[in-house]
Structure 1
């Protein structure tokens, strides 16, 4: 059951929203237990919570995946990512875990190397999805939002500057937005 909020207007509101969601904190604790460098749980995990809340949904929208990212230039194997996913499945079975080392993802995306996980998040396709949360060592919830939170709380879909300024990437963004069809789930979302 989702707690009802009429407004999410600030980073503080967003953090409180997630802090009060027991399931989300359990997911974050599972990811934290891997002790990955520069890790975040990002994208739809955060965006969907905000949009569900702003739409007044009483049940959580299902997630295609739970994106756990980290930055480790010392071990760039996909095999390592799959082993980490297995560990998360053992901790919280039945969830669609996806673990990706951002130190290697620039190659798949045909981009210049990223310098950190937050740098990678800044290069996600949409500003409303360029978000991540994690727990620090003291258990404090942290947010990374390199493109800000205005678009996600205004339910506006637009490309990140990285995608907007590259014709090839903009075409990928446009196809992705069409394929995702977020308005079918969240009718207040606009482009």
Structure 2
């Protein structure tokens, strides 16, 4: 997976175009390995597809990004059927990524369905192991609220309360995380709090 990791590192450095070539190559090489040994290689392949989808989205290749993320979701669903304890949290992460991608291409029903599914999976994980899963749960909640608000649900009286509930629950979790680990979560909490204020004001 070194080529895929190189793609991730390039993106972190802000080199979106540079990230694509090694990540694509890594995914295609991994695809060949999966054909030879699917049991061993499928989890890593799904991670590579998820990374490539995210890189493509950053580069503006929205439909291609969605195709890789959907493939990653399908693989992780299959892995959950085999071992739900090991793979449900990873499925939730990819569902959440795919939900944003569906929203970017205007597929709102799919975006909302994937986002809700991701939230419900991670809600259960966060209850069982809050230290490990609360941050991911809060991010998925926030992403759900962003998808909802981007498609007019804040302006609909019947949906506004649901959007605000997701935002407030996410911000509340991040407020607690920032209080306990300010060096890790304070900046992210401030971004969320300001975004909420700009979207909904004092509601």
Q: TM-score, normalised by structure 1?
A: 0.32
Decide which structure has greater strand share.
1
Decide which structure has greater helix share.
2
Q: Which has the larger radius of gyration?
A: 2
